[in-house]
Amino acid sequence: MKPLFNRGPSAAVRMVIAVAFAFALIIADLHYRQLDSLRSGLAVTVYPLHFLAALPARIAQNLETQVASKTRLHAENDRLHRENLMLRARLQRFASLESENERLRNLLGSAFKVGERVLIAELLQVDLDPYRQQVLVDKGALSGVFVGQPVLDANAVMGQVVRTNPLTSTVLLITDARHSLPVKVNRNGLRSIAIGSGLVDQLNLLHVPKKADVRVGDLLVTSGLGGTYPPGYPVARITEVRIEAGQRFATVIAEPTARLDRSHEVLLVWSLPKLMEGAMTNSESAEPAALRSTLEP
């Protein structure tokens, strides 16, 4: 039975308190980034929830592999075999290229190294905020994941880690409207910035001059300028170049080559930013020496 007189503060007072608290939270989270520990603490408590929410998809997937027909498995096996053969053949060429590249870089005195450590993480099939392009992966700070870490899939760049919890981390995809990524056109090295559009299959290029040499079908790769992403990874392919009379720049639209909406496993990449920094600081001191050594026979 409801008591005739409520004890404690009235609903309006409670609401004012709660709203004030919420405002404090918003301001603290927005401007001071003070709440990451609170958030990750709470996130640990909701991890079972994420796990449960992802469970049906996971079970369905397991069932699918269980009941996959023998012929299909054979076909897949064949395909993978062929692919493996092809990749290995290509790898042989890369091995020689890599050693050549390293030799040339050694000549220049640059400390840049190509090798890198990766960790495979699985996407949790959980829908986060439907108006942001974010995904949740099942590796977190306990596995060494850090904020700003680049995330790739088998084809291309997917995004970067924006938040880590002990067991999970949130990845912001390159197509989110708040994400921008320094890229260059692979064919001629023209630099630009790819801004997410909020749609899963579209990126917009910023400030491309109207006379720039950009064509439909050009591959965009990361330029490595921001320091977050390693240079030279494929990002997107240009699908549309539009030149409008009223605009100061060309409108260039690209489609990500990563399968952002279908990828199931992602690669978390390590140690590239540090190597980049190392390369930059080292090259300042090493390059003049290298130049001199090449000038003096």
Residues at the site binding another protein, with contacts judged by CB under 8 A? 2-3, 6, 11-12, 14-15, 18-19, 21-26, 28-30, 35, 38-39, 42-43, 46, 49-50, 127-132, 134, 136, 163, 170, 176-178, 198, 200, 261
Backbone torsion region of residue 198, taken as left when φ is above 0, otherwise alpha when ψ lies between -120 and 50, otherwise beta:
left
Burial (0-12, 13-18, 19+ Cβ within 10 Å), 150: buried
Minimum CB–partner distance for residue 219 and another protein (Å): 26
Q: Please state, as a whole number, how many other Cβ atoms lie within 10 Å of the Cβ of residue 187.
A: 13
Contact 206, 222 (CB under 8 A): no
Q: Given the complex with another protein, which of 223 and 263 has the nearer CB atom?
A: 263
H-assigned helices in the chain: 11-27, 36-67, 70-108, 272-295
Nearest to 184 by CA among 157, 151, 160, 159: 157
* CA atoms of 69 and 74, how far apart (whole Å): 9
Minimum CB–partner distance for residue 6 and another protein (Å): 7
Minimum CB–partner distance for residue 126 and another protein (Å): 8
Q: Given the complex with another protein, which of 12 and 67 has the nearer CB atom?
A: 12
CA atoms lying within 13 Å on the CB side of residue 279: 19
The residue type of 270 is W
* CA atoms of 24 and 273, how far apart (whole Å): 34
Q: Given the complex with another protein, which of 37 and 66 has the nearer CB atom?
A: 37
Minimum CB–partner distance for residue 151 and another protein (Å): 15
Nearest to 183 by CA among 126, 257, 244: 257
Minimum CB–partner distance for residue 200 and another protein (Å): 7
Residue 230 DSSP symbol: P
Minimum CB–partner distance for residue 166 and another protein (Å): 13
Q: Given the complex with another protein, which of 102 and 201 has the nearer CB atom?
A: 201
Rg (CA), the chain: 25
Minimum CB–partner distance for residue 68 and another protein (Å): 22
Q: Given the complex with another protein, which of 16 and 216 has the nearer CB atom?
A: 16
* CA atoms of 55 and 166, how far apart (whole Å): 20
